[in-house]
Structure 1
Amino acid sequence: MPDAPLTCLDLWCQAGSSSEQPREEGMAHFLEHMVFKGSQELPAGAFDRQIEALGGSSNAATGFDDVHFHVMIPSEQAPRALQLLLELVLHPALATEDFGTEREVVLEEIAQYADQPDERVIQALLSQGCPDHPYGRPILGAAEQLLAMTPDAMRRFHRRRYRGNHCCLAIAGPIEATLRRSIAESALADLPSTSEIQSQAALSHRNGRHEISVPRLESARFLMLWPMAAADQLSLVMGADLLTSLLGEGRRSRMVERLREQLKIAETVDMDLTVLEQGSLVTLEVCCAEQQLHAVESAVHEQLHRLDTDPVEAWELERALNLVGNGLRFALESTGQVAAMAASQTLWGRQQSLLEPLQQLERWTTDELRAELFPRLQPEEACTLIARPGTSQG
């Protein structure tokens, strides 16, 4: 929109929950909250007021691998927005008087999360499938860990993780000469590095079968979790994305067509790939009536075993290629998503064309899927969780 140009400023840092040390669990997310309580130069609330006055908006998110803070702003206001963003994130006040108040907000968030049966089921699956890895822990942490945290401990975490070799700024949209000068003269230019290296332990996964009872769960759940290639193995990641679409996205996918359309034993069927730096995760979740759990499990196993015996037809592969490819293309239409993709790639040392995932996607054939990925997605390789509606957790 030439008459209303927007620039996205997206500051990423290798400071997600997987970078937390013992007794820091939940620190990364708590720090994200505390950043917005103000900096050495910006009182609490001043950042939001000034960004909105400039015609922009801001937000932040904490994940397993990283945390990012982004601003969407009219392009002519980007230099001032950059100053505000860097001041807020790189120099948070972490004031003692705000620490207790904001901790209560996070504790309430943890309580709300625990009160949502669907979220409890997903967390149980991650905890059972990745019990010895940070990906198996809640990003929010636990109440007892939050209660033990101090402002000094948070300052140490911030000093350790928010450093030059852990940070990356991505900009999408018009970039004026004034913005380039602002970057060169900003706090990023002098941000010191640290000798600490982000741990990149390979994802540890444990298969097996588990059952739990979850109060107020409206429908029973059948879930499976498989480990997949890490984010830097782009070709395998794209193949896994293709396979999950072939199996579990849309009415014509194998799982949905069989369980919901033909057998009518499932309410919903969802299959997703979560791309992560230390190993990605594929999840399958089927909602059904409790009495249908056995039938659902049998049907899912049948479909997975038939991957190797029933050839993927040309129309199936073409459909999956279009679904995944168009999702990538649509993402390139969003300034915010372009900035996020560029930042994540740069942050983790895999700078590449934004079209590279599409090129890697096109290399997959049915024979390559069968040889490289079908064996990884078998029932015996999964962590399986049965969640039943109930009054107590078993």
Structure 2
Amino acid sequence: MTYTEISLHDQEIDVEDSGAHLRRTIRHGIRFITEHIPSQRSVALGMWIGAGSRDEMPGHEGSTHFLEHLLFKGTRTRSATMIAEEQDYLGGDFNAMTAKQFTAYHGRVFDEDLAPAVDLLADMVTSARLDEQDMLVERGVILDELAMYADDPSDVAHEALPGAIFGDHPLARPVGGTRESVTNLAHSALLEHYRDHYHAGELVVTAAGSVDHETFVETVLAGLRKYGWELTGEEFVPRRVETPLSYSLSNKTIQQTSEQAVVLVGMPGVTHLDQRRPALLAALTILGTGSSSRLFQEIREKRGLAYSAYSFASSYETGGFVALGAPTSPKNVQIVAELMNETLDGIVGSVKESEVESAYRRLRAGAVFDAEAVQQRMLRLGLAELSTGRLISLDEALRRQKAVTRDDIEEVLAMLTVNERACVTVGPIG
């Protein structure tokens, strides 16, 4: 059967999507989602833990990102060097990512190398050594990573923006922790965070490409058992829902020695299941995506005040935000912030039908081009399971986007203009 939208609860799924065979099974509390894509010779796979920076307990801040590093530092059977050599030998693109809602370890290999790739990731997830000496060494690496981001005004501004909108809500926490939290994180707290979250009930396993669902499931289960997980009838941990987002908007100016400054203007947005989200995406495309966008034309083309100007949105279960941004010369910070606000306020009532069609064509291209990349297909499955709780087919997503009218866009823009706004500026200001 084909599908339009599926709610991911405790059901098994066996559907088609634009020629791909998509299946979901739950075994021993582990959620497996695969997408067999004809003509592919490679497989992208991921092992996801349903806990991110928002889920860290007091004293555990920074643990999520710290674990992402330490899982590559060795297991009971593989040293860090062996892990690195095996990844290179498999020829795959292995990596990991930490987010506010999850942690993921992933790679892409030829289909003939899927079994050893699964074995490697299963060993890392189940049997990480997490040695205290390794933690001491890696702490320096993470602090250097944070320092690298702290030297970039754009990274600093984007990290500060959620706090300027959400206040002290867990979703406002820095994903990688802070210099203070990483410095003070105890080895015992790290181990506690690992024990709390790295188990079958938290695990989601995804694969897309040249993959057979049943064979893949059995291969993963065999790997997890091999490295010591006792798989019984464990229930999976339901997808976490944040406490309701309360908005606490504020302005932040962060002084930093740099050649350039960054300005972000943020405001409340919509949830990820809000029916207005397709209209919001179209509105933000018109406002700040591409060289024809209103922000780009106003700030760069007409006035030459910035190399780029853009807009974006982040949506969660209970809320979200919209932001406009631009890097600029420190002396132009004030005028760029004013132009962002004026462009947003002035767009209401002036959207053209040609802009509506152009926005759809760009959003369609992004969705289809992503669907042609096996890595993106695999990531889509994990994000659906752990972030939105829903799978929407490509055809249905395109249909909803195509159905957005000029009036829909005007309505969502009008909503944005009446919201309070936060402003974050970073650089040598004042």
Shared fold per TM-score greater than 0.5:
yes
Describe the shift of the 1:356–1:40 C-alpha distance in structure 2 as closer, same or farther (beyond 3 A).
farther
Larger displacement relative to structure 2 (32-41 or 264-273): 264-273
Shift of 1:142: 1.9
Q: Does 1:139 align with 2:179?
A: no
Q: For 2:200, which of 164, 168, 186 is the aligned residue?
A: 164
In structure 2, C-alpha distance between the alignment counterparts of 1:74 and 1:198, rounded to whole Å: 34
Map 1:1-394 onto structure 2 (within 5 A): 5-176=41-212, 178-187=215-224, 190=231, 192-193=234-235, 198-216=240-258, 218-233=259-274, 235-310=275-350, 312-348=351-387, 349-371=389-411, 373-378=412-417, 380-390=419-429
In structure 2, C-alpha distance between the alignment counterparts of 1:2 and 1:282, rounded to whole Å: 38
Shift of 1:28: 0.4
- CA contact 2:367–2:394 (8 Å) conserved in 1: no
- Secondary structure of the corresponding residue to residue 409 of structure 2: helix
In structure 2, C-alpha distance between the alignment counterparts of 1:199 and 1:3, rounded to whole Å: 38
- Secondary structure of the corresponding residue to residue 336 of structure 1: helix
Shift of 1:224: 0.5
Aligned sequence identity (%)? 26
Aligned partner letter, 1:87: D
Larger displacement relative to structure 2 (316-325 or 2-11): 2-11
Query: Could you give the per-residue CA deviations for residues 321-345 of structure 1, whole angstroms, max 9, x where no partner exists?
Result: 1111110110011111100001211
- Secondary structure of the corresponding residue to residue 271 of structure 1: strand
Larger displacement relative to structure 2 (177-186 or 164-173): 177-186
Shift of 1:178: 4.4
In structure 2, C-alpha distance between the alignment counterparts of 1:30 and 1:86, rounded to whole Å: 18
Shift of 1:317: 0.4
Aligned partner letter, 1:280: G
- Secondary structure of the corresponding residue to residue 276 of structure 2: helix
- CA contact 2:153–2:260 (8 Å) conserved in 1: no
In structure 2, C-alpha distance between the alignment counterparts of 1:73 and 1:300, rounded to whole Å: 44
In structure 1, C-alpha distance between the alignment counterparts of 2:186 and 2:316, rounded to whole Å: 29
Query: Could you give the per-residue CA deviations for residues 333-369 of structure 1, whole angstroms, max 9, x where no partner exists?
Result: 1111100001211234313324433232122111122
Larger displacement relative to structure 2 (338-347 or 260-269): 260-269
- Secondary structure of the corresponding residue to residue 267 of structure 2: strand
Shift of 1:18: 0.8
Aligned partner letter, 1:110: L
- CA contact 2:251–2:422 (8 Å) conserved in 1: yes
- Secondary structure of the corresponding residue to residue 56 of structure 1: coil
Shift of 1:48: 2.6
In structure 1, C-alpha distance between the alignment counterparts of 2:132 and 2:304, rounded to whole Å: 56
Describe the shift of the 1:388–1:109 C-alpha distance in structure 2 as closer, same or farther (beyond 3 A).
closer
In structure 1, C-alpha distance between the alignment counterparts of 2:363 and 2:282, rounded to whole Å: 6
Describe the shift of the 1:232–1:184 C-alpha distance in structure 2 as closer, same or farther (beyond 3 A).
farther
Shift of 1:71: 1.5
- Secondary structure of the corresponding residue to residue 281 of structure 1: strand
Unaligned runs of 5+ in 2: 1-36
Aligned partner letter, 2:66: F
Describe the shift of the 1:26–1:342 C-alpha distance in structure 2 as closer, same or farther (beyond 3 A).
same
Q: How many pairs align?
A: 387
Larger displacement relative to structure 2 (347-356 or 55-64): 347-356
Query: Could you give the per-residue CA deviations for residues 169-188 of structure 1, whole angstroms, max 9, x where no partner exists?
Result: 11111124643431354428
Unaligned runs of 5+ in 1: none
Describe the shift of the 1:3–1:321 C-alpha distance in structure 2 as closer, same or farther (beyond 3 A).
closer
